[in-house]
Amino acid sequence: MKRFKALVLAATLVASMALTACGSGSGETASTASSSPSSGTIKVGVVNNPPSESGYREANVKDMEAVFSAANGYDLKTFYSLKNDEQLQAAQGFITEGVDYLLISAAETTGWDEVLRKAQEAGIKVYLFDRMIDVDESLYEAAVVSDMAKEGETAVNWLLGQDLSEYNVIHIQGAMGSDAQIGRTGALDEQFASGKMNKVVQQTATWDEAEAKKIVESVINSGEDFNVIYAENDGMAKGAVAALDEAGITHGVDGKVIVMGFDCNKWALRELLAGAWNYDGQCSPFQAQIISDLIKGNTTASSKKIINQEKGFDAKTITQADIDTYGLGE
């Protein structure tokens, strides 16, 4: 009986481990997009984080697959993992396989020296996208990255352009310390410091929609006046708007409160199109076309670090076409 129990326990443990392994979303999904590469195709190996990581990554992965397609003359091999060591192994594998180009969005910034050196010896050109790696610049052709601070600046400049007589801002922050939070907070903090904008409240909701709603509710209940909600992602903006709706406060175009979000989910852009929100900023996940242009020699890199242009949409000018092209998710 004891032995049976031990067996069952062991089986449960194994099962749970298998479950959690699946759960971490780090399944190896190396695949070839084109089954019969012809001699003229450019072989590209992409090492990326899994699309399950975020809506951003999902759009990023889709963009890569769309641009480096067989129709565009590419033979694409991909590997997705959140773990640096698995990524390193996969990159090693791509080098052995003999790809022409290696595209990397690393899980961690360290540990890539040796692999990149091997790639260089093998004559494989390396492009970094989305994330920088701590290596010597000579080891890669170019890095196409986002400047998080610029994203916040774009949004704040848009807000300044609205020429309000006064700015009473509710600032809902993302998880403190994350790249996106730091980038999106910086520019607004400058305005608070200079006194041009008035900080009604600055709180982190750690990306949690429900928490954002509670924060706005507490401001409404306190009776304080505000006319701008600056939420650092779409979900939190939606939470904030829910609180406004329940309190009967108008928002969006021609409303009392300006609503700003980030990420450009399709559903959020539709809110913009309907005029319920005012602005949505994006940390652009679309680096593939820039890299493809570099590979094909259509453009040349002026420096090793190429800053991907950030987008921001205004409810007054957004079109359905923008939503279809730039919106994330469904």
Partner 1 sequence: MKNQTKKVFSGGLGQLTIPLVAIALLVIFNLFRDPSFFSIGIMHNNDGNIVLSGNLISIINGASELAILAMGMTLVTAACGGQDISVGAAAAIAGSVFVKILKSMPSITGGTVVLAFISACIVAMLFGTFNGTLVAVFKIQPMIATLILYTCGRSIAYWINGGATPTVSSPIISGIGSFIPGIPIPTPVLIVVLAAILFRLLFHFTSLELFTQSVGINGSAARLNGINSTFIKLLSFIILGICVAIAGTIGVSRLGLINHETLLLDVEMDTILAVAIGGNNLGGGKFKIGGSILGAYVIQMLTITLYAMKVSSTDVKAYKAIVIILLVVIGSPVVKARVSKLMSQLRTAKAENLTKGAQ
Minimum CB separation of residue 69 from partner 1 in Å reads: 21
Q: What are the residue ranges of helices labelled H in the chain?
A: 2-23, 55-67, 84-97, 113-121, 148-160, 179-194, 209-222, 234-247, 266-273, 288-295, 320-326
Residue (43 or 213) nearer to partner 1, CB? 213
Minimum CB separation of residue 222 from partner 1 in Å reads: 6
Residue (248 or 297) nearer to partner 1, CB? 248
For 96, the 3-state DSSP assignment is: helix
Q: Is-contact 198 170, C-beta < 8 A?
A: no
The binding site for partner 1 (CB under 8 A) comprises: 5, 8-9, 12, 16, 19-20, 22-25, 51-52, 55, 58, 176, 201-211, 213-215, 217-218, 220-223, 235, 238-239, 242, 244-250, 265, 267, 329-330
Which amino acid, residue 307?
I
Minimum CB separation of residue 250 from partner 1 in Å reads: 7
Minimum CB separation of residue 267 from partner 1 in Å reads: 4
Residue (25 or 111) nearer to partner 1, CB? 25
Residue (85 or 245) nearer to partner 1, CB? 245
Q: How far apart are CA 64 and CA 69, in angstroms?
A: 8
Q: Is-contact 283 129, C-beta < 8 A?
A: no
Q: How far apart are CA 45 and CA 76, in angstroms?
A: 6
Residue (40 or 223) nearer to partner 1, CB? 223
Minimum CB separation of residue 142 from partner 1 in Å reads: 29
103-115 burial: b if 16+ Cβ within 10 Å, else e = bbbbbeeebbeeb
